[in-house]
Chain A
Amino acid sequence: MRLTKLLTAAIAAIGLVGSAHAAGGVKHPHGPDDGWSFEGPLGTFDQGQLQRGYKVYREVCAACHGMELLSYRNLGQVGGPFYDENYPNPNDNPVVKQIASEFSVRTIDEETGDELDENNVPLTRPAITSDAFASPYANDAAARAVNGGALPPDLSVINKARHGGASYIYSLLTGYPSDEKMEKDYAELSVTPGQYYNPYFSGDTSGNWSGDPRYAPYGGFLAMAPPLLEGQVDYDDGTEATVSQMAQDVAIFLAWAGEPKQTVRKQLGLSTMIYLLILTVLVYFSYRRIWRNVEH
């Protein structure tokens, strides 16, 4: 029937309109060669990889990027990097407690209400599991002041806020052209000091491109220097800390952090779909039976 075809076309159209947003002047982000473990209807996170990713975040990214929506307790919740089935309440998890205590947060003197000590230094206390991740800067203005006017975005939901999600993060982190490549392929691209070219970063290169304007390269300029160097992080599990490995691990960690309940979502989804499917089949046969004597 014609109307059926139209409906199919309409559904396809919705999909295409959705994907049309992704088009633009950036290189299409790609994941690692063997894909992401958390993708697909049964995808899960590898806990060891989440722990490595957290380590990369903490030792590299956290120098400039906050994650205000996460608390230390989140690290120990079901599906999290430090979840331990012996501690269903993550606030009891000794690893999580230990991690939290390594950070300090502002506090007040409980008797006087003072925020500063006698030397006018802000009073601090060790963080506890319910505290939000400590931010590297007091506020946005302070962050801009030390980053040449650029504001390092909060990473709490970064994987949902960029087209491509984890693949975008992976591509961006591994996609900075090497010095040799810059000289060879991008010689006609003048990069402002303090800025770095990345083909995956959204922007416009035409103003800095002295070659054929029809072939101005993809991407744009950002204030973040290539953050990962070979062997920068000392992994506890002995994994070799290549740039690609660290980028993968931190992309996975950020994908988890952006939606910590996604594994639960997919598991519930599977049982819901099976339930609905069985019910649909049963109701279909009821329909056939009820209508069996009606010409229609």
Chain B
Amino acid sequence: MSGPSTYEPKTGFEKWLDTRLPIIRLAYDSFVDFPTPKNLNYWYTFGAILAICLVVQIVTGVVLAMHYVPSTSMSFDSVEHIMRDVDYGWLVRYIHSNGASMFFLAVYIHMFRGLYYGSYKAPREVLWILGVVIYLLMMATAFLGYVLPWGQMSYHGASVITSLIGAIPLVGDTVKTFLQGAPAIGDATLNRFFSLHYLLPFMIAGVVILHIWALHVPGNGNPTGVSVRRDDPKKEKADTVPFHPYYTVKDGFAILVFMLIFAFFVFYAPNVLGHADNYIEANPLQTPAHIVPEWYLLPFYAILRAVTFDIGPIAAKLGGVIAMFGAIAVLFVVPWLDTSKVRSMRYRPLAKQFFILFVAAGIGLGFCGANNPDDLVFKFRDDKLAVTYIDEAGESGRQMFDEFEEAKAFQEAQPEDAGSTMEVSKSGFKWLWLTQILSVYYFAYFLVILPLLGLIEKPKPRPASIADSVLGHGSNPAPVGAAAAPQRDDA
């Protein structure tokens, strides 16, 4: 797709097909002879890993759908039927459920890689946007899929998320009823969730094709951010290697390492990434003590809960929903928020620091999502006892004690109509506050830091070309005598 096709049909059949449907030519030009920068590191293998993840999820999912029953009375048992009575059903199900976690692990690394190396910058904005669309579809698919086993977390998670939709003004209730298929979550909900859970992966596959197409028009980016020199075939050759066998074997190695980790979870720790409550059949009348989503959605769950105050006319609940969707929506405009003329943060000393903080904030938000917002990250002081009472003048009073005996004696000394009560007084740093700080950083990174840094930061010198960079081995600036680096990477 980039540059003229070098495919030469050899057999009679290939020649015949090539003049009718040049599909072999397309595959050859895309995955065999495709010129790929020779300096891609292992962070660039996650695209191929993700393609494998999608195929694994679709294949195992199709098999699971042959045995699964979407019905509130039978879903839970049908999943256990798969685990117990279907030949290798346990294997297929564990691959599918852990596959979702692996898929997200890979997609997060892939996205962080894109943010670090400026993969979203011109001319790859559409490529990035398609990636965000895939990510959004993945989250929807994962959420829908988590509801299907009809465990406690399935049901109550679905109830939290659909009630969020209800927070949208005017149309919220209608949309919520439409999603649930009924005024409450039940058989109708489960059936449409199953249907959509089967549909969305094929939409993902469609967008993945567009994503690869959009990748193959400008070609791969690379860790230096310096573009392949396309103007001269000789220079292009110095900067690139053909995709096959160079990257098929490198991606293949990375895929196998990834599969080792994947297999470890499937065979030896198949339930650690899940939640024990989801092995209890859904019971609408009994809400679990802590409703938490799967780990990969925790950062967004934290942002949702970070808004605990009304903002003008916007109620806190709606504010949270806006913040949560905003956290994903902001990714769509990253190409235009980053004003830097340099792609790779390898040459952006300041941006690199803020990026590391951003990754830490993302992981931190995950912890925040897993913890109760009112629990304490750490204590300011030892817990005290507070006795509240109503004094003779009818004013309410409150006295703090370190010792239980003193508090008890004080409480007993109060007249009976004082209505005194004793409670534990804790003082410490709440998870909620950490969530709010990290959420602010999350948005500030995109909306303030990225736009400002591009204007004030002085980038380090970049190599003139990929060929120069590999000769100087990456860490060094442009070797002496090399041509000066271009003014803008994304020109």
The residues of A with any CB-CB pair to B shorter than 8 Å are 2-3, 6-7, 9-11, 13-18, 20-21, 24, 41, 68-69, 74, 153, 156-157, 160-163, 202, 211-214, 259-261, 265-266, 268-270, 272-273, 276-277, 279-280, 283-284, 286-287, 290-291, 294-296
Which parts of B286-323 form the interface with A (CB within 8 Å)? Answer: 289-290, 292, 295, 298
* A–B pairs, 26, beta carbons within 8 Å: A14-B295, A14-B366, A16-B367, A17-B295, A17-B298, A17-B367, A20-B371, A21-B276, A69-B84, A157-B279, A160-B279, A202-B289, A265-B91, A266-B267, A268-B267, A273-B264, A280-B260, A283-B256, A286-B249, A286-B253, A290-B246, A291-B246, A291-B249, A294-B38, A295-B471, A296-B241
Chain B residues contacting A160 (CB-CB under 8 Å) are 271, 276, 279
| Closest CB pairs A-B (n = 4) | A269-B267, A161-B279, A212-B404, A280-B256
By a CB distance below 8 angstroms, the chain A residues around B380 are none
Bound state CA distance, A260 and B81, in angstroms? 12
Closest chain A residue, CB of each to CB of B266: A269
Are B272 and A214 touching (Cβ within 8 A)? Answer: no
Residues on the A chain within 8 Å of B280, using CB: 153, 161
- Is the pair B80, A214 in contact by a Cβ cutoff of 8 Å? no
- Asked if B268 and A261 sit within 8 Å, CB to CB, the answer is no
A69 contacts B250, C-beta separation under 8 Å: no
Residues on B with C-beta less than 8 A from A266 are 267-268
B241/A269 in contact, CB under 8 A: no
In the bound complex, what is the Cα–Cα distance between A202 and B245 (angstroms)?
57
Residues of A within 8 A of B470 (CB): 295-296
Docked pose: A151 CA to B253 CA in angstroms: 52
| B237: min CB distance to chain A, Å | 12
Contact B263 A272 (CB under 8 A): yes
Q: A7-B109, A261-B83 are in contact. Are A21 and B43 (CB under 8 A)?
A: no
Complex formed: what's the CA distance from A16 to B298 in Å?
13
The secondary-structure label for the interface of chain B is helix
Q: What 1/0 flags go to B22-44 for Cβ under 8 Å of A?
A: 00000000000000001100010
Residues of chain B within 8 A of A295, CB atoms compared? 38, 470-471
Q: Does B112 contact A (CB under 8 A)?
A: yes
Residues from chain A with a CB closer than 8 A to the CB of B250 are 287, 291
Q: Assuming A6-B356, A21-B292, A283-B256, is B246 touching A13 (CB within 8 A)?
A: no
B381 to chain A, nearest CB (A): 12
C-alpha spacing A163/B268, complex, angstroms: 17
Known: A18-B273, A18-B295, A41-B268. A287 touches B249 (CB 8 A): yes
Contact A161 B260, beta carbon cutoff 8 Å: no
Instruction: Give Cα A28–Cα B263 distance, bound, in whole angstroms.
Output: 29
Q: Are B77 and A18 in contact (CB under 8 A)?
A: no
CB nearest neighbor in A for B272: A18
Within 8 Å CB of A17, what residues of B? 295, 298, 366-367, 370
Cβ contact within 8 Å between B90 and A259: yes
Could you give, for residues 224-237 of chain B, a 1 whenever the CB lies within 8 Å of some chain A CB and a 0 otherwise? Answer: 00000000000000
The answer to whether B84 and A276 have CB atoms under 8 Å apart is no
> Known contacts A6-B356, A20-B367, A156-B80: does B276 contact A213 (CB below 8 Å)?
no
- Chain A residue contacts of B39, Cβ below 8 A: 296
Say yes or no: B385 contacts A212, CB within 8 Å.
yes
A160 to B263, CA, bound (A): 20
The docked-state distance in angstroms from the alpha carbon of A16 to that of B272 is 11
Nearest CB to that of A43 among chain B residues?
B268
Q: Does A290 contact B249, Cβ atoms closer than 8 Å?
A: yes
Contact with A along B90-105 (1 / 0, CB 8 A): 1100100000000001
Contacts of A279 in B (CB 8 A): 256
| Partner pick for A294 among B116, B246, B260, CB 8 A cutoff | B246
B330 interface hit (Cβ, 8 Å): no
- When chains A and B are docked, how far (Å) is the Cα of A39 from the Cα of B30? 47
State the CA gap A136–B277 with chains docked (Å): 24
The answer to the question of B252 belonging to the interface, with a C-beta cut-off of 8 Å to chain A, is: yes
Q: Name the residue on B nearest A280 (C-beta).
A: B256
- Interchain nearest-CB distance for A206 vs B (Å): 9
B94: which A residues are within 8 A, CB to CB? 265
Nearest to B422 among chain A residues (CB) is A213
- A21 touches which one: B91, B116, B268, B370 (CB < 8 A)? B370
Interchain CB contact under 8 A, A280 and B257: yes
Q: How far is the CA of A234 from the CA of B94 in the complex (A)?
A: 39
A15 / chain B contacts, CB cutoff of 8 Å: 272
User: CA–CA, A265 to B94, complex, Å?
Assistant: 10
B residues near A212, Cβ cutoff 8 Å = 385, 404
Chain B residues with Cβ below 8 Å from A20 are 367, 370-371
Task: List residues of chain A with CB within 8 A of the CB of B245.
Answer: 290
Assembled-state Cα–Cα distance A269/B271 (Å): 15
A-chain residues with CB within 8 Å of residue B105 when the two chains form the complex: 10-11, 14
